Chains A and B, each alone.
Chain A
Amino acid sequence: MSDVLLSAKNLSVRFGGVLAVNNVSFDVRRGEVFTLIGPNGAGKTTVFNLISRIYAPTTGSLEYEGRDLTRQAPHHIARLGIARTFQNIELFEHATVLHNLLIGRHTHRQTGLWSELFFTPAARRAEIKAREQVERVIELLDLQHHRDALVAGLPYGVRKVVELARALCTEPQLLLLDEPSSGLNVEETEDMAFWIQDIQHELGITVLMVEHDMTLVSKVSDRVLAMNQGEVLATGTPREVQTHPGVVEAYLGTVDEVSDLRRAAA
């Protein structure tokens, strides 16, 4: 449990005059569920975008299994075993669920252009193999009913699951989930919690997630990191972080402000 999979050291990123992430350091240990929490605009998604190389950090380092992530090309991140979902869902809208998941198998392709143009027996075997892997994920996440449906026609809750499924199809070691429960109802959120636990325990995948729903966070996270305005407030177990005075202040304001509000209400 203790060996470190992903390690961020003094990570900072500046967009013009805005310091979106300021001197953030954390370690994600192999096999754990590590959650980033914090108010809107705290820089959580920016940290994700730094890991998936959509942005480059201004200073600081990101190490994944001892490799410097900031030197990798963006499309190489998936090959290293890092998959992600997006806060606002970035699926391939005009393709079926099955095709979306098959695109998730892209890093595992074994065929070249020419064998695909002629669809040689090798290409056919590779296609069948990809489908076998995809079916396992469909089974795990109960997507059988939607297999051949176009993503454009699916309800929001299902799209969220399809995106998770697509990330799992890459067979990642580290899964980045950007607000997995946003827009889901209570029941769907509970399903999501079970799936995250399954992913952690049965598939042995390390999960790094951004989440606002504290029930879900306390249920599945091993460790939590709270951020505010680009800086780290606290790190620890969900309970420790929730009771940390700095975190309470970031969410609710200072004790004085809260008591002022109470008085004003009374």
Chain B
Amino acid sequence: MRFIFKTDYDQDIRLAKHGGQVFWYSLLMALLLAAPWLFAEYWLAQLTFVLIYAIVGLGLMLLAGFTGLFSIGHAAFLGVGAYTEAVLVNAGWPFPVSLVMAAGLSAAVGVIVGLPALRVKGIYLGIATLSFGFIVEEVLARWESVTGGNAGISVKKPGLFGWTIDSGTGFYFLCLAVAVAATLAILNLLRSPTGRAFVAIRDSEISAQSMGIHLARYKTLSFALSAAFAGVGGALYAHKLTFISPDQFNILQSIDLLLMVVIGGLGSVHGAFLGAIFLISMPQFIALSKDWLPPAIGQAPGLQGVVYGVVLIAFVLFEPLGLYGRWLKMRTYLQLFPFYRRGMFKRQKSFQRSDRLR
């Protein structure tokens, strides 16, 4: 067990709390930097997808995990980002500019979607964002002059001042850089007043308001930031796939994204990454296990959906804190060995809150 003796406010503020974290995250970073030489082309592509989904997941985590607002139409922001990127890059814009535009346009759309969030809560917000997702999918399909309609649109390679990123390795490093920047941005936000205001809104709107937090402004801001992250992820996604069509941004994609943050662990930055790893690796496991299963099950259509559903239900029932929560428990078990008690992570009975003031 490690006890951190704080003698300085900086110790409380800095990102790495102790030497162990510096060591492990440096090791992880070194491994990610060496990945192109360690893994085959196919696995590097999968790793790239993990990074892209993690960027989107960070945004959704900020919204769902830290502000407590659920979006069941998040694929729409992904789509807005992807199509903005596709259209602009095809028109010859340099990549950094088009990426910023993708983020900006998604954020602007996020603000519009955030407006109903000021009035509706819980399941109603879910339905509002769900229908928004359908609207965007429909717009992408019908606005043929720009989006190419249902036929889809192919995306040029990202260009950077006359230099094109055309190798898988180059694009991997680009995604890695963006993912690291996105993670740092989220971590910075969470250790400053804005991030704390989000958490305050999640836990008690009424007292957040009486602490002087402008609920409408921060909810909208959370939607905008979340959408911006999804937009950046969407832009990278468009480049990775090189061809996008509206049906890639449908309700199933939205559910995948939500699944990712719930299984990863709501309310933790790690959760976005663990969820992304789960989301990308699960189809691989299912594909591998198909040969071992009886054909009636293994070859059945919709097997993936069933597995996802079962896993989600299992997590909600047995591990509401997700993969990250499970990891925390395992780590505590090892740290305290042999003194771990069974009920250690059991939530204490929470006291009655005033329902009248909601």
Q: A residues bordering B, Cβ < 8 Å?
A: 49, 52, 54, 73-79, 83-84, 86-95, 98-99, 102-107, 109, 111, 113, 116-119, 123-124, 126-128, 130-132, 152-153, 156, 159, 166, 170
Contact = CB atoms under 8 A, between A and B. Distances in A.
Size band of the interface chain B makes with A: 35 or more
Contact of A152 (B9, B196, B204, B350): B350
Contacts of A94: 199, 202-203, 267
Given A78-B211, A107-B212, A152-B348, A93 B206 contact: no
Contacts of A105: 193
B357 A106 contact: no
Contacts of B194: 113, 116
Given A117-B188, A118-B188, A152-B348, A75 B354 contact: no
Given A93-B203, A170-B212, A111 B196 contact: no
A107 B191 contact: no
A170 B211 contact: yes
A208 to B, nearest CB: 14
> What is the interface of chain B mostly: helix, strand, loop, or mixed?
helix
B357 A91 contact: no
B109 interface: no
Given A88-B354, A93-B203, 7 more contacts: A103-B213, A107-B212, A116-B192, A128-B10, A128-B13, A152-B348, A153-B348
A156 B267 CA distance: 24
A127 B191 contact: yes
Contacts of B196: 95, 99, 102-103, 106
A104 B193 CA distance: 10
> What are the 7 A-B residue pairs with the smallest beta carbon separation, nearest first?
A78-B212, A90-B207, A92-B203, A116-B192, A107-B212, A119-B188, A88-B354
Interface of B: 9-10, 12-13, 185, 188-189, 191-197, 199-200, 202-204, 206-215, 221, 267, 347-348, 350-354, 357
Given A127-B191, A152-B348, A87 B9 contact: no
11 contacts: A77-B210, A86-B354, A88-B352, A90-B204, A90-B206, A92-B207, A99-B196, A127-B9, A127-B13, A128-B13, A159-B351
B203 A156 contact: no
A57 to B, nearest CB: 17
Nearest to B13: A127
A78 B203 contact: no
B204 A106 contact: no
A103 B197 contact: yes
A123 to B, nearest CB: 6
Contacts of B9: 127-128, 131-132
User: Which of A52, A104, A116: most chain B Cβ within 10 A?
Assistant: A116
User: Which of A93, A103, A123, A159: most chain B Cβ within 10 A?
Assistant: A103
A262 to B, nearest CB: 37
Contacts of B213: 75, 103, 106
Nearest to A176: B210
Nearest to B355: A88
B87 to A, nearest CB: 27
Contacts of B192: 111, 116, 119, 123, 126-127
Contacts of B12: 98, 131
A261 B237 CA distance: 80
A153 B347 CA distance: 7
A113 B207 contact: no
B324 to A, nearest CB: 14
